[in-house]
Amino acid sequence: MDYLTNAAGGFATGLPLGAGMGAIFGPRGGMRSTAEMPTTPELRADKTARYTALENSPALYEPNALARSATLTEDVLRAQRHTPERSPVSFQAVNEMRAPPTTAHLGVGAPIGPSDIEYIRKGLQHVNPATGGPDIAAAPVVKRALDNFVLNPPPGAVIPGTERAAAEAAALAQSARDAHGAYRRSQLWDSLTDNALTSAGSANSGLNVQNRLRQVVTGGLRQNDRGQSAFSKAHYTPEEIARLTEFARVPRGDATLRYMDRLFGGGGGLGAMAAGGVAGGAADKYLRDDPTWGSIAGAGIPAAGLGLRLLGNRRATRQMQELGTMAGSRAPLYRERVATAPLAPPPGGGTAAGVRDALTLEILRQQGIPRITVTPED
């Protein structure tokens, strides 16, 4: 009976502690980069710096080339049934492509640079999402035309002598667009995560983190009448959206963990009292000779449920962090950091490996097997 009593106590405490400690200290994966994921303020500063460098580029283009691009863009807009009356901001940008206001004081035929094109592009931000209507759909068409002009200038568009500067401007434009997208994704992710943690902290004493995290991701995946979601607007890739959808739908292993923690009263409150009462009553009924069993079951089952709930919360939080890293890894600033940062073992892997090696060496020593030291020369 002493053995069985100790085994039951070990189960009640070992299950949550063993699972939690294994999740904390167990190694995950191979070598990883030590580069730090940029914060949202860092991404904002980075994208601003890249746009500033683009606007200061010495590249020069023929104004007639941009005017021809404007004509092609207008043809696309009208084919999609856009008109100056229905999409005024977009058509104003098209007209500015024919006669950039930034070079008007220099006279007709004056060369234009990336700063002039960026000036026209920024004007498209003046579309009002609430009243823009067709302009909302027309503006991206003009933006793509302006982007393509810088990224892939038409033949004869670059003024001779500035070809290298134009190539550098194309690279700057691409990195600036990528940095802007990374900033928007980071903004959205911070907002979702903060909302989830705030909501979880205001209810259930913070024990409902995993549910709140999945709820905010589900909200971000919800599509509007145009078939767009918050994630698609922030230019998440289809692969990233697929992983977000998998997280929101709760993988099978996490679903089983949630079922068990609820069964054991992991949420606390009345659920824990009910689980402990049922377990304690059942133990008293079948093992009346020793009331210790009822106490063990009554206290151990809710403790195991709480441990499973905390483990589920930690798993969901780690998964959320990995999803955020997944999208953030496309930021130019992060890629630059990865290119220069050294590699290191995953968190926890070194601790587990160190304990394993120490135990192995001690066993060898006790069995009389000499310890072998390997030098760098070997």
As a three-state string, the secondary structure of the chain is: CHHHHHHHHHHHHHHHHHHHHHHHHCCCCCCEECCCCCCHHHHHHHHHHHHHHHHCCCCCECHHHHHHHHHHHHHHHHHCCCCCCCCHHHHHHHHHHHCCHHHHHHCCCCCECHHHHHHHHHHHHHCCCCCCCHHHHHHHHHHHHHHHHHHCCCCCCECCCCHHHHHHHHHHHHHHHHHHHHHHHHHHHHHHHHHHHHHHHCCHHHCCHHHHHHHHHHHHHCCCCCCCCHHHHCCCCHHHHHHHHHHHCCCHHHHHHHHHHHHCCCCCHHHHHHHHHHHHHHHHHHCCCCCHHHHHHHHHHHHHHHHHHHHHHHHHHHHHHHHHHHHHCCCHHHHHHHHHCCEECCCCHHHHHHHHHHHHHHHHHHCCCCCCCCCCCC
- Phi, psi dihedrals of residue 365, rounded to the nearest 5°: -65, -45
Q: Do 88 and 122 fall within a single domain?
A: yes
The verdict on 193 and 303 lying in the same domain is yes
Q: Which domain holds residue 37?
A: 2-41+185-340
The pLDDT of residue 183 is above 80: yes
Domain boundary residue among 129, 161, 193? 161
Give a yes or no: residue 322 inside a domain: yes
Whether 354 is in a domain gets the answer no
* 214 has a pLDDT exceeding 90: no
- 155 and 104 fall within a common domain: yes
Q: What pLDDT sits at residue 16? A: 55
Band (309; pLDDT cuts 50, 70, 90): low
Mean pLDDT of the 312-329 span: 83
Q: Is residue 374 part of a domain?
A: no
Q: What is the pLDDT at residue 96?
A: 97
pLDDT at residue 265 in the model: 46
- Whether the pLDDT of residue 22 is over 90: the answer is no
Instruction: Answer with the one of 324, 340, 356 that is the final residue of a domain.
Output: 340
Do 256 and 305 belong together in one domain? yes
In a shared domain, residues 326 and 298: yes
**pTM score, whole prediction:** 0.69
Could you tell me if 205 and 240 lie in one domain?
Answer: yes
**Could you read off the pLDDT of 248-265 as tens digits, one per residue?**
887 655 555 554 555 544
pLDDT above 90 covers a percentage of the chain that reads 47
Q: Please check whether residue 346 lies inside any domain of the structure.
A: no
Q: So what's the pLDDT on residue 66?
A: 97
Residues 198 and 309 in one domain: yes
Is residue 378 in a domain?
A: no
Number of domains in the chain: 2
Answer yes or no: is pLDDT of 326 > 90. no
Q: Is residue 249 in some structural domain?
A: yes
Instruction: Please indicate whether residue 212 or residue 373 has the higher confidence score (pLDDT).
Output: 212
Residue 34 has a pLDDT of 86
pLDDT at 68: 97
Instruction: Looking at mean pLDDT, say which of 21-25, 155-159, 233-237, 285-289 comes out highest.
Output: 155-159
More reliable by pLDDT, 9 or 53: 53
In this structure, the answer to whether residues 197 and 152 fall within a common structural domain is no
Q: 15 and 65, same structural domain? A: no
Amino acid at 66: L
Predicted pLDDT at 280: 45
Q: Mean pLDDT check: name the lowest of 15-24, 170-179, 235-244.
A: 15-24
| For residue 97, pLDDT beyond 50 | yes
Q: Give the best-scoring range by mean pLDDT among 212-221, 278-287, 311-320.
A: 212-221
Average confidence (pLDDT) over 6-28:
56
Does some domain include residue 180? Answer: no
Question: Do 216 and 262 belong together in one domain?
Answer: yes
**pLDDT score recorded for residue 29:** 57
Q: What is the pLDDT of residue 25?
A: 46
Query: Sign of torsion, CA 114 120 123 127?
Result: negative
Show which of 161, 195, 229 is a domain's final residue: 161
Which pLDDT score, from 0 to 100, does residue 154 have? 96
pLDDT (average), residues 179-205: 83
Q: Which residues pair with 61 in a beta bridge?
A: 112, 158
The residue type of 225 is D
- How large is the average pLDDT for residues 75-95? 96
Reply yes or no on whether the pLDDT at 95 is more than 80: yes
169 inside domain = no
The average pLDDT across 229-240 equals: 91
The answer to whether the Cα torsion of 111, 113, 116, 120 is positive or negative is positive
Query: What is the structure's pLDDT at 359?
Result: 59
The Cα 280–Cα 8 span in angstroms is 12
Q: Are residues 332 and 206 in the same domain?
A: yes
Mean pLDDT of the chain: 79
> Which of 182-196, 289-303, 350-364 has the weakest average pLDDT?
289-303
